Amino acid sequence: QVQLAESGGGLVQAGGSLRLSCAASGWSFDTYTMGWFRQAPGKEREFVASINRGGSMTSYADSVKGRFTISRDNGKKMGYLQMNSLKPDDTAVYYCAAGSGWTILTTSGEYHYWGQGTQVIVSS
């Protein structure tokens, strides 16, 4: 059974940093593209970042480009989202997701598996 579990969320002041982790189990992690999405209260889920199977390609939403870094460790079946220079607008529940394919994926419909999310709150 495919499972994804996020961790690392919390409360941080504006300008601070957090590192989110995504642990995969029950499947061949290195055969899937991985992505991070977020959903703020009253808003739709939005794309944050994506990384391809081997980690050679990444893509970011314009709103996080230059501040967030997505990475993965296939040997450990782990994905990461390093978030720096956090802003109050980054407050949301963050989800990791996995989808089949050879390249980066930027829309939620392309992802097959989702974690339950981890809350990030950035105070001003």
User: pLDDT-based confidence at 27, cuts 50/70/90?
Assistant: confident
Q: Which of 58, 72, 67 is nearest to 22 (CA)?
A: 72
| pLDDT tens digit sequence for 40-84 | 999 999 999 999 999 999 999 999 999 999 999 999 999 999 999
Residue 1 has pLDDT above 80, yes or no: no
Q: How far apart are CA 49 and CA 34, in angstroms?
A: 9
The 8-class DSSP code of residue 111 comes to: -
pLDDT at 8 (0 to 100):
98
Spatial neighbors of 39 by CB under 8 A, at least 6 apart, are 45, 46, 92, 93, 95, 117
Q: Residues 64, 80, 44, CA angle at the centre, nearest 5°?
A: 50
